[in-house]
Amino acid sequence: VYQDLATVPLMPVWRNFFLGSEMTKGPWPLRRLDIERMKETADEELRNMGIVLDDLERPIGTLSGGQRQCVAIARAVYFGARVLILDEPTAALGVKQSGVVLKYVAAARDRGLGVIFITHNPHHAYMVGDHFGVLRLGTMELSASRDRIDLEELTNHMAGGAELAALKHELAQVRGVDVAALPGGA
């Protein structure tokens, strides 16, 4: 799922759902768009993901960021994705919209799709993840299943762990603070 969602803001939801893969009917060369079938299919597939939109004629640009993300996820699932790769899907969203996206990520995972969820937010990762990998400068710093790591440890790895401890030590020395007295000690 592309980070910019590959949608056309002024086009209706159903058109964006089928963008580049429109259904047609009729014999060649008189083929035309099968608009009713595309609307029905888009509505059904969105509902299968738990997304209920009252008006599929509504321009997709009028949906919230979370709703647009969910349409993009449902589109990928419909067109046969077995693995979803989501790069920072909640980065530009508020808490409520992020919740909507996380709900549909979990739904896709529960339907048996593989989901690679790239994020800088350990809370979001921990809510939907089964296995976590943390990369630092191209090296795998952490690879752990959910039952082997808690949110605090995941957050520590994602925030830089050892680098943060070294920085904390350096800053404390600059300020003349007893490093051993700080939380986490020396």
Note the pLDDT tens digit of each residue in 126-143: 999 999 999 988 889 899
HSE on the CB side for 179, CA within 13 Å?
Answer: 11
Structure tokens at 72: 């993009």
Is 13-129 a domain of CATH 3.40.50.300?
yes
Domain residue extents for the chain: 13-129, 146-186
pLDDT single digits (tens) 22-37: 999 999 889 999 999 9
Beta strand spans in the chain (E)? 24-25, 32-33, 83-87, 114-118, 131-136, 139-145
φ, ψ (nearest 5 deg) of residue 170: -60, -45
Per-residue model confidence as pLDDT tens digits over 5-63? 788 999 999 999 999 999 999 998 899 999 999 999 999 999 887 788 889 999 999 99
pLDDT band at 177 (very low <50, low <70, confident <90, very high): low
